[in-house]
Amino acid sequence: MNLIERAKSILLQPKETWATIDTESTDVATLFTRYAMVLAAIPAVCGFIGMSLIGFGGFGVTIRTPFVAGLVNMVVSYVLSLVGVFVLGLIIDALAPTFGGQKSPIQALKVAVYASTAAMLGGVFSLLPALAMLGLLAALYSIYLLYTGLPVLMKNTPEKSVVYTVVVIIAAIVMGVVIGAVSALFLPRGGAMFGGADAPSITMNTPGGKVSIDTAGLEAAGKKMEEAARKMEEAQKSQDPTAIAAAAGNAAKAAAGAFGGGQAIAAQSLKGALPEKLAGLPRTGFDVQDGAALGLPTSQASAQYGNDTRQVRLEIVDIGGLGQVAVMAMGMAQGEKEDKTSAEKTWQEGGRTLHQRYEKDGSHAEFKTILKNGLVVSIEGDNMGVKELQGFMSQVDLNALEGLQRKGKS
């Protein structure tokens, strides 16, 4: 197999190329060493050059990721992109019977690897961060490649290809969000980055903790996604958009379970941390919600404080078990930028991630804290400086919020 010819043919003649791929005899090692590992280097290396050497910005201001941090990010993003392709293959294989297909781990991995071709080649646009959106268009073409490849390699019935593709994409989106955050900000710990091959999960050690992909739980997650897929098929036949959205949300929730998703902390518990007053400013209103974003458990509590001249808004948000992933993803985030009108800074302090942004004319300021348990506490105000907001934040019992525990997966 010639890599260049294969990449060219899968992009320009996908249907004919999938038929050829279907009959090829191969193994995991060959797929990765002769194809995936080469293409996966493109977005990793180009991203490093674009962010650390070329930089991005505007209006005369250029921002670059520190050189060493960029190198670390390049290596980690490269490794995790390969992990992502492998896990996607497991998901494709687990879902095959639901859509009248045949389970075959190697065929599923072929689909995952070759369908990723467009997205990986699109990584070249990362050389110029301003063109990064073109990489998104390339990723969209990978969706088409997935759609055309599933019925050929997994033997699912053609009429079920749309729903099959949608469910796989939902899983890929959830996985991509997690892997994208991790690869952008994590520092690996040498050879101990991954657990053993016989472990029930793939574990990535980081300065902020561990991220685990529960491979043992993939089958259970796959069954939940199968059920959601069946409901999507039923809803599609009845043309019920509400039912389709609900089933898609359930599929996303099942996919998130492989990454440690759990229930969010009760919104009423978050409300208890909203003080009646902030530095003498009375609370003028509040909003408390338990909900679900994309099928993932979330909770939120916010309050408004103010008088005739000053207004402050305090918000506490939890995204369930994925909040812990956010903690680790932000575990090494730091940097600052400034222009004529505003300034922004992100740094670490006491195991927490702090972020501030303010307008130099004093018209608006924001201050945010990501706690060790993944809760995000943010405060913003008009007609005041960021130092004053930091004083307001000190009146919120962050230690109590940090001590709140989540329930397990539902």
Show pLDDT as tens, one digit a residue, over the chain (410 residues): 678 899 999 999 999 999 999 999 988 888 988 899 889 888 888 877 777 666 655 444 456 666 666 677 777 778 888 888 888 998 899 889 988 999 999 999 999 999 999 999 988 887 776 676 788 888 889 999 999 999 999 999 888 889 899 888 888 777 766 665 555 444 443 333 333 334 444 444 444 444 444 444 545 555 555 565 566 556 556 656 566 556 555 555 555 554 445 577 888 899 999 999 988 899 999 998 876 444 456 788 999 998 888 889 999 988 765 555 555 545 545 678 888 898 988 888 888 888 898 999 989 999 999 888 888 899 999 888 899 999 999 999 999 999 988 765 54
User: Is residue 408 one of the residues assigned to a domain?
Assistant: no
Q: Which two tokens stand for residue 138?
A: 């390339």
User: Is residue 262 one of the residues assigned to a domain?
Assistant: no
Output the CA–CA distances (angstroms, integers) from residue 194 to 28, 39, 79, 213, in the order listed: 18, 22, 10, 11
Given this model, what pLDDT does residue 332 score? 47
List, as one string, the DSSP characters of 284-350. Answer: EEEEEEEEEETTEEEEEEEEEEE-SS-EEEEEEEE-TTHHHHHHHHTTT--EEEE-SSEEEEEEEET
**Domain extent at residue 395:** 267-402
Residue 208 exposed, middle or buried by CB count within 10 Å (0-12, 13-18, 19+):
buried
The reported pTM is 0.49
Looking at the structure, tell me whether residues 176 and 140 fall in a common domain.
Answer: yes
Looking at the structure, tell me whether residues 247 and 281 fall in a common domain.
Answer: no
| Crossing angle (nearest 10°) for helices 105-115 and 67-95 | 140
Given this model, what pLDDT does residue 215 score? 46
User: Is residue 410 one of the residues assigned to a domain?
Assistant: no
The helix (H) or strand (E) run that includes residue 282 is strand 281-293
Given this model, what pLDDT does residue 80 score? 80
Given this model, what pLDDT does residue 108 score? 95
* Nearest-angstrom CA–CA distance, 200 and 1: 34
Looking at the structure, tell me whether residues 171 and 67 fall in a common domain.
Answer: yes
Partnered with residue 212 across adjacent β-strands are 203
Number of domains in the chain: 2
Looking at the structure, tell me whether residues 251 and 271 fall in a common domain.
Answer: no
Given this model, what pLDDT does residue 79 score? 80
Given this model, what pLDDT does residue 191 score? 36
Asked which of 237, 257, 277 is the last residue of a domain, the reply is 257
User: Is residue 236 one of the residues assigned to a domain?
Assistant: yes
Given this model, what pLDDT does residue 171 score? 80
Q: CB-hemisphere CA count at 13 Å for 207? A: 12
Looking at the structure, tell me whether residues 282 and 242 fall in a common domain.
Answer: no
Asked which of 217, 235, 257 is the last residue of a domain, the reply is 257
The helix (H) or strand (E) run that includes residue 359 is strand 352-359
Looking at the structure, tell me whether residues 128 and 244 fall in a common domain.
Answer: yes
**Residue 197 amino acid letter:** A
